[in-house]
């Protein structure tokens, strides 16, 4: 029935009932807004007009934060964050009005004929009505908890309540793994948190790569027809995924620390790599300007391989003649730089020098160093996650019907071609989505590093909380960073998934 | 319809009522019948459970003294073990009523962190411990050393200051739990273990072979350790502060747990005021007038709890030193009760 017909068919009694319902909606909306307003004023602003004064100030704050890009990226982000969070509850008022409008529209257009004169017995009306009530209560609750927090912070800390300005104060503490950026005790809290973030990223990245390798090996081992190999893989999976990760971290940390000697009795490999209970020390390469020729050759190799692969693919499509792409690419990517290296060495002397670690005083100085905490974390995370990935890989391969194998072989593909062109692409479709969650898990699990003194984001943030007393702010930074890391990882994996998915025509 | 509106309003008001609580710690404590006291996760001599699970130590005894002052019963106290990292948050959020956990009084904690220090229970300083076999005799020889320490402490900052001001390199390995620091040091992850000197003496007892280690002579910081309360409750702050002062004053006046009943008959007006025979000093802080009598009778004076827990006759064997009374060569001094 169209709207026009409905309106025409309306009786006088129905019209009255409709009128009553609309008046009720109006009253409800006003009541909801009053509760919302009242709770906001009572719990948060302490005056009925405070909301508007604050709103004006927040807009000013956001503008100021955008204009004065002064202290550090985190601080700047934090200021905008605070302003947005403060304005956010106001959106709930808009939402209340929105629900009310929707209710009105719906009553007038789609449901003009009341099922009953009493709106409370009208199923649809009740549904939307309860939505309004629940939302109003939720808004009041939000005002209450934020108001409560602000109030308590005020009482404890006085006027300088919450804010990210502390991030520019001097950190004052040391960190034992600093990568890519400069950090000293005189640096700011913001820099310290960046150091922690980089440590988390490095650990997660290395963990993801290693866990994927372990997982694929284990997954394929489990499908082996060799009884010993498949049972070995099954045992690995059952053991490592059923023992709590934190326990594994402690075990690995002790397993790494205990058997290793003191620095003065280090295990030396070829007199350049030293292993002791302070970590692994290796020579650090120092590059001369001539080194860039080698890098250029490497990049050229990659680009050239890509073009060759494209050309070979096209030629094979047209003429059916295959081309040895893999060997050519390997030769270009690795052979060419090696050749350049040799040439540079002959013409301009060695393009790379090494800074060897030397035992001085308590420990080795110079060179590159991997701290034992990193090794323990990497082992624990990748072995634990590897067990899960192993199962995912097994499931993915088993999900490809056997008929595909038979068909591929019947077409005359070699076993390698069959795997590469038929089985793996189909298995990947099943593997990628759960693999994404494992990558996310690994990243988040890396926060357990705090247990063994690996200075990751959580460990460093914890120190900052304790030394500065700004826990809400650091918690906000933690959540924001982990959220962005997870979203970035899943965005990448979604892109990869879309690429790998069967193209349906 | 009206009913629903009223219900909604009621729910909102109830929510509002809850937020008003949390101001009068003394009332809260009396209502629940015990004091919730934040202590360490196991530091011999300061706060550590014995083999029967009873908490022992000078920090613990202070909590018992508070319970004696409030309830006339030193056992009406419950202990929450806290790591260095958790402690301030636990206090600020109201999880504990008082923090008695070898905590250093600093300006930043006293102000920005929203805390109040009620005085000094133990004057300490930070020191270094190394293995005897290293042959190190001074902290100035520690260039390039790996240092194990606790996160979230003043120790962590002092060690950074010390090495930087002496232009020495170091590697800090910072754990959250004190036990993990000792374990890592004991297993050779670090060359140096650093914390307050009382802590060195205490944690040494937990090492595999305590005699293998030596404490270096340098004291690199001032660490006045004392009980802490949160901002915003002056009455509770006063109670904690004056309980500590009463214990120190009692030692100075020669009042001990053994002679406190005889001392009640003393003619010395200072003792009379302390023990509530004269004046209304208990009422001034919201307690009964025999509050200090209960503290001394049931727990002891400052000297007694020192000797019992960390003094020369205990395994820690710490001499009074700075912690002796001001008139006996130390700096322990309490304002008068009057």
Give residue-wise pLDDT tens across range A449-496: 988 889 999 999 988 988 888 888 888 889 888 988 888 888 888 888
B319 shares its domain with B234: yes
Work out the pLDDT band at B263, boundaries 50, 70, 90: very high
Provide the domain limits for residue B116: 24-123+225-328
Q: Report which of B200, B149, B142 is spatially closest to residue B175, judged by C-alpha positions.
A: B149
Interchain contact, A35 vs B9, CB within 8 Å: yes
How far from the centroid of its chain's Cα atoms is residue A104's Cα?
42
List, as own/partner pairs, every contact residues B220-223 make where C-beta atoms lie below 8 angstroms and the sequence separation is at least 24, other chains included. B220/B125, B220/B126, B220/B127, B220/B128, B220/B139, B220/B158, B220/B159, B220/B161, B220/B162, B221/B125, B221/B126, B221/B154, B221/B158, B222/B123, B222/B125, B223/B104, B223/B123, B223/B124, B223/B125, B223/B126, B223/B154, B223/B196
| pLDDT at B20 (0 to 100) | 37
Q: Tokens 């070979």, residue? A: A312
Residues 83 to 122 of B: which have CB under 8 A from any A CB? Answer: 84-85, 88-89, 92, 108-109, 112-114
B211 part of a folded domain: yes
Q: Is B143 on the interface with A (CB under 8 A)?
A: yes
User: How many contacts (CB atoms, under 8 Å) link A and B?
Assistant: 149
Alpha-carbon gap: B126 to the closest alpha carbon of chain A (Å): 15
Average pLDDT over residues B311-336: 93
User: What is chain B's mean pLDDT, rounded?
Assistant: 89
DSSP one-letter string for B31-54 = HHTSEEEEE-S-BTTTBEE-TTS-
Q: Which of B197, B221, B245 is the last residue of a domain?
A: B221
Q: Is residue B6 part of a domain?
A: no
pLDDT (0 to 100) of residue B15 = 42
Check whether residue B176 and residue B270 sit in a common domain: no
Q: What is the predicted pLDDT for the residue at B271?
A: 95
- Model confidence over B212-250: pLDDT tens digits? 999 999 999 999 999 999 988 999 999 999 999 999 999
- Which pLDDT value is given to residue A287? 81
Residue A87 has pLDDT above 50, yes or no: yes
| Residue A74: per-residue pLDDT | 65
pLDDT exceeding 70 applies to what percent of chain A? 84
Q: A110 pLDDT band (50/70/90 cuts)?
A: low
Residue A372: its chain B contacts at CB < 8 A? 189
Token pair belonging to A68: 């004065």
**Is it the case that residue B8 has pLDDT exceeding 70?**
no
- The reply to whether B119 and B136 lie within a common domain is no
Query: How far off is chain B from A259, nearest CA to CA, in Å?
Result: 10
- Interface test mutation site (partner A, options B157, B175, B182, B221, max chain A beta carbons within 10 A): B157
Chain B residue with CA closest to A146: the answer is B19
Q: Which of B257, B259, B295, B258 is nearest to B276 (CA)?
A: B295
pLDDT value for A492: 87
Res A136: pLDDT: 78
**Do B100 and B113 lie in a common domain?**
yes
B173 CB neighbours in chain A (<8 A) are 176, 373, 453
Task: Chain B: give the shortest CA distance to residue A393, in Å.
Answer: 37
Q: How far apart are CA B115 and CA B92, in angstroms?
A: 8
Q: Give the pLDDT band of residue A217 (cuts 50, 70, 90).
A: very high
Q: Both B119 and B231 in a single domain?
A: yes
* Mean pLDDT, range B22-47, rounded to an integer: 90
pLDDT at A2 over 60: no
Q: Report which of residues B314 and A154 the model is more confident about.
A: B314
Structure tokens at A464: 């900052």
Highest mean pLDDT among A46-50, A91-95, A333-337: A333-337
Q: Is residue B3 part of a domain?
A: no
Q: What is the pLDDT of residue A420?
A: 84
Classify residue B250: in a domain, yes or no. yes
Q: Give me B200's structure tokens.
A: 């060195």
Q: Are B231 and A157 an interchain contact pair (Cβ–Cβ within 8 Å)?
A: yes
How far B205 CA sits from the closest chain A CA (Å)?
21
Percent pLDDT > 90 in chain B is 71
Residue A414 forms contact with B (CB below 8 Å): no
pLDDT for B14? 43
By Cβ distance, the residue of A152, A361, A453 closest to B174 is A453
Q: Which residues of A touch B92 (CB under 8 A)?
A: 156
Of the residues B198, B221, B244, the one at which a domain ends: B221
So what's the pLDDT on residue A396?
93
Q: Residues of A numbered 11-50 whose beta carbons fall under 8 angstroms of chain B's beta carbons: which are they?
A: 24, 31, 35, 38-39, 42-43
pLDDT in tens, B89-141: 899 888 999 999 999 999 989 988 889 999 999 999 999 999 998 889 999 99
The rounded mean pLDDT for chain A is: 82
Interface with A, mutate which of B16, B22, B162, B228 (most A CBs under 10 A): B16
Is the complex ipTM more than 0.95?
A: no
Whether B144 contacts chain A with CB within 8 A: yes
How sure is the predictor about B23, in pLDDT bands with cuts at 50, 70 and 90?
A: low
Who's near A134: CB < 8 A, 6+ residues apart?
A: none
Note whether B232 contacts A160, CB cutoff 8 Å: no
Instruction: Tell me which chain A residues have a C-beta less than 8 angstroms from the C-beta of B146.
Output: 176, 278, 362-363
Minimum-distance CB partner of A463 among B12, B151, B191: B151
For residue B269, pLDDT over 90 is answered with yes
Same domain, B83 and B229: yes
Instruction: Collect all residues of chain B within an 8 Å Cβ-Cβ radius of residue A43.
Output: 16, 19
**A38–B160 CB contact, under 8 Å:** no
CATH of the domain at B132: 3.40.190.10
Is the Cβ pair A174, B143 closer than 8 Å? Answer: no
Which of B160, B192, B221 terminates a domain? The answer is B221
Tell me the helices (H) and strands (E) count for chain B, helix number first: 14, 14
Q: Judge whether residue A404 has pLDDT over 70.
A: yes
The distance of A257 to chain B (nearest Cα, Å) reads 7
Residue A1 has pLDDT above 60, yes or no: no
Provide the chain A residues 470-489 that lie in CB contact (below 8 A) with chain B. 471
Asked if the C-beta of A361 comes within 8 angstroms of chain B's C-beta atoms, the answer is: yes
What percent of chain A is predicted at pLDDT more than 90? 26
Please, which pLDDT band fits residue A82 given cuts at 50, 70 and 90?
low
Range from A29-38, A89-98, A351-360, B52-61 carrying the lowest mean pLDDT: A89-98
Are A140 and B156 a contacting pair at CB < 8 A?
no
Q: Which of residues 207-266 of A touch B (CB under 8 A)?
A: 254, 257-258, 262
> Is B177 a residue whose pLDDT tops 60?
yes
pLDDT value of residue A480: 86
Q: B276-293, pLDDT tens digit by residue?
A: 999 999 999 999 999 999
Is A174 near chain B, with CB under 8 Å? yes
* Residue A219 φ then ψ, to 5°: -60, -45
| A23-31 mean pLDDT | 80
Higher pLDDT: B70 or B11? It is B70
What is the count of structural domains for chain B? 2
Residue B75 and residue B67 in contact, taking contact as beta carbons nearer than 8 Å? yes
A152 touches chain B (CB under 8 A): yes
Residues B78 and B158 in one domain: no
Q: Which residue matches tokens 């590697």?
A: B171
Can you tell me whether residue B150 is helix, strand or coil? Answer: strand
* Cβ separation A173–B85 shorter than 8 A: no
A360 touches chain B (CB under 8 A): yes
Q: Same domain for B100 and B76?
A: yes
pLDDT score of A160: 57
Cα radius of gyration rounded to whole Å, chain A: 32
Nearest to A185 by CA among A436, A416, A471, A463: A463
Is residue B231 within 8 angstroms of chain A, CB to CB? yes
Phi/psi for B132 (5° steps) reads -55, -35
Q: Which two tokens stand for residue B261?
A: 């009943």
- The pLDDT of A291-298, averaged and rounded, is 86
Higher-confidence residue: A41 or B250? B250
* CATH, domain A189-269+277-283+370-500, list 3.40.50.300, 2.40.170.20, 1.10.3720.10, 3.40.605.10: 1.10.3720.10
Question: Per residue in A422-452, pLDDT tens?
Answer: 888 889 888 988 998 999 999 999 999 988 8
Q: Do B85 and A466 make contact, defined as CB atoms within 8 angstroms?
A: yes
B150 and B99 share one domain:
no
Alpha carbon of A237 to those of A222, A383, A384: distances in Å?
9, 9, 9
Nearest partner of B178 among B196, B191, B160, judged by Cα: B196
In angstroms, the CA B210 to CA B206 distance is 8
Chain A residues in contact with B144 by the CB 8 A cut-off are 360-363, 365
Angle, alpha carbons A91-A92-A98 (nearest 5°): 95
Domain residue spans of chain A: 3-156, 189-269+277-283+370-500, 284-355
């Amino acid at each position: 029935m169209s709207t026009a017909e409905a309106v025409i068919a309306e009786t006088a009694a129905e019209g009255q009932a409709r009128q009553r319902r609309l008046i009720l909606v109006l009253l409800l909306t006003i009541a909801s807004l009053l509760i919302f307003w009242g709770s906001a004023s009572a719990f948060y602003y302490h005056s009925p007009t405070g909301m508007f004064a604050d709103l004006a100030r927040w807009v000013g704050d956001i503008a100021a934060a955008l204009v004065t890009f002064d202290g550090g990226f985190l601080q700047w982000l934090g200021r905008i964050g605070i302003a947005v969070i403060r304005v956010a509850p106001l959106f709930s008022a808009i939402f209340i009005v929105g629900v009310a409008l929707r209710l009105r529209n719906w009553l007038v257009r789609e449901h003009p004929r009341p099922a009953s004169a009493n709106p409370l017995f009208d199923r649809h009306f009740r549904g939307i009505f309860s939505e309004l009530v629940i939302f109003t209560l939720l808004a009041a609750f939000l005002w209450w908890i934020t108001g409560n927090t602000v109030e308590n912070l005020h009482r404890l800390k006085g006027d300088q309540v919450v804010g990210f300005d502390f991030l520019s104060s001097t950190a004052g503490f040391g960190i034992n793994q600093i990568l890519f950026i400069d950090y000293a005790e005189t640096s700011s809290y913001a820099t310290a948190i960046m150091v922690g973030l980089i440590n988390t990223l490095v650990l997660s990245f290395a963990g993801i790569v290693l866990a994927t390798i372990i997982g694929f090996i284990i997954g394929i081992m489990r499908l082996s027809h060799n009884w010993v190999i498949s049972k070995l893989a099954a045992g690995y999976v059952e053991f490592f995924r059923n023992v709590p990760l934190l326990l594994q971290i402690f075990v690995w940390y002790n397993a790494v620390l205990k058997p290793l000697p003191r620095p003065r009795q280090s295990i030396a490999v070829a007199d350049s790599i030293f292993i002791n209970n302070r970590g692994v020390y290796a020579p650090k390469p120092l590059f001369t300007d001539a080194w860039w020729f080698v890098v250029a050759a490497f990049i050229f190799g990659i680009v050239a391989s890509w073009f060759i692969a494209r050309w070979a693919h096209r030629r094979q499509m047209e003429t059916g003649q295959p081309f040895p792409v893999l060997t050519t690419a390997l030769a270009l990517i690795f052979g060419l730089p090696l050749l350049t290296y040799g040439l540079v060495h002959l013409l301009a002397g060695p393009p790379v020098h090494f800074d060897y670690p030397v035992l001085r005083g308590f420990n080795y100085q110079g060179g590159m160093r991997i701290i034992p905490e990193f090794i323990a974390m990497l082992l624990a995370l990748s072995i634990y996650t590897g067990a899960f990935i192993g199962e995912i890989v097994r499931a993915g391969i088993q999900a490809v019907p056997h008929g595909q194998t038979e068909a591929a072989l019947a077409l005359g593909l070699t076993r390698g071609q069959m795997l590469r062109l038929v089985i793996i692409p189909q298995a990947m479709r099943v593997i990628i989505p759960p693999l994404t969650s494992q990558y996310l898990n690994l990243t988040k699990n890396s926060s357990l590093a705090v247990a063994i003194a690996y200075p990751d984001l959580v460990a460093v943030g914890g120190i900052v909380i304790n030394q500065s007393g700004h826990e809400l702010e650091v918690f906000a930074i933690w959540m924001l960073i982990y959220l962005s890391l997870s979203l970035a990882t899943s965005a990448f994996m979604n892109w990869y998934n879309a690429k790998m998915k069967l193209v349906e025509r | 319809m009206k009913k629903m509106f009223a219900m909604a309003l009621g729910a909102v008001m109830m929510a509002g009522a809850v937020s008003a609580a949390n101001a009068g710690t003394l009332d809260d404590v009396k209502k629940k019948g015990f004091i919730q006291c934040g202590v360490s996760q196991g530091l011999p001599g300061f706060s550590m459970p014995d083999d029967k699970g009873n908490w022992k130590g000078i920090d613990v005894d202070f909590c018992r003294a508070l319970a004696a002052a409030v309830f006339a019963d030193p056992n009406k106290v419950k202990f929450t073990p806290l790591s260095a990292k958790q402690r301030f948050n636990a206090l600020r959020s109201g999880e504990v009523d008082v923090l008695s956990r070898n905590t250093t009084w600093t300006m930043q904690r006293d102000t920005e962190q929203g805390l109040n220090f009620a005085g000094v229970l133990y004057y300490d300083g930070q020191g270094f411990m190394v293995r005897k076999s290293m042959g190190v005799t001074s902290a100035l020889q520690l260039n390039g050393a790996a240092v194990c320490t606790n996160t979230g402490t003043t120790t962590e900052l002092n060690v950074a200051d010390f090495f930087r001001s002496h232009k020495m390199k170091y590697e800090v390995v910072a754990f959250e739990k004190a036990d993990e620091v000792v374990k890592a040091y004991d297993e050779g992850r670090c060359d140096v273990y650093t914390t307050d000197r009382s802590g060195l003496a205490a944690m040494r007892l937990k090492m595999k072979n305590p005699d293998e280690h030596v404490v270096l002579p340098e004291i690199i910081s001032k660490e006045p350790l004392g009980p802490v309360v949160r901002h915003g409750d002056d009455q509770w702050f006063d109670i904690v502060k004056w309980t500590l002062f009463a214990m120190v004053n009692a030692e100075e006046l020669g009042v001990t747990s053994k002679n406190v009943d005889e001392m009640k008959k003393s003619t010395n007006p200072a003792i009379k005021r302390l023990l509530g025979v004269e004046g209304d000093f208990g009422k001034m802080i919201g307690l009964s007038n025999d509050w200090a009598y209960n503290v001394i009778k049931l727990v002891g004076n400052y000297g007694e709890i020192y000797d019992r827990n960390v003094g020369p006759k205990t395994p820690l064997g710490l001499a009074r030193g700075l912690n002796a009374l001001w008139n006996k060569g130390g700096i322990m001094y309490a304002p008068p009760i009057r």
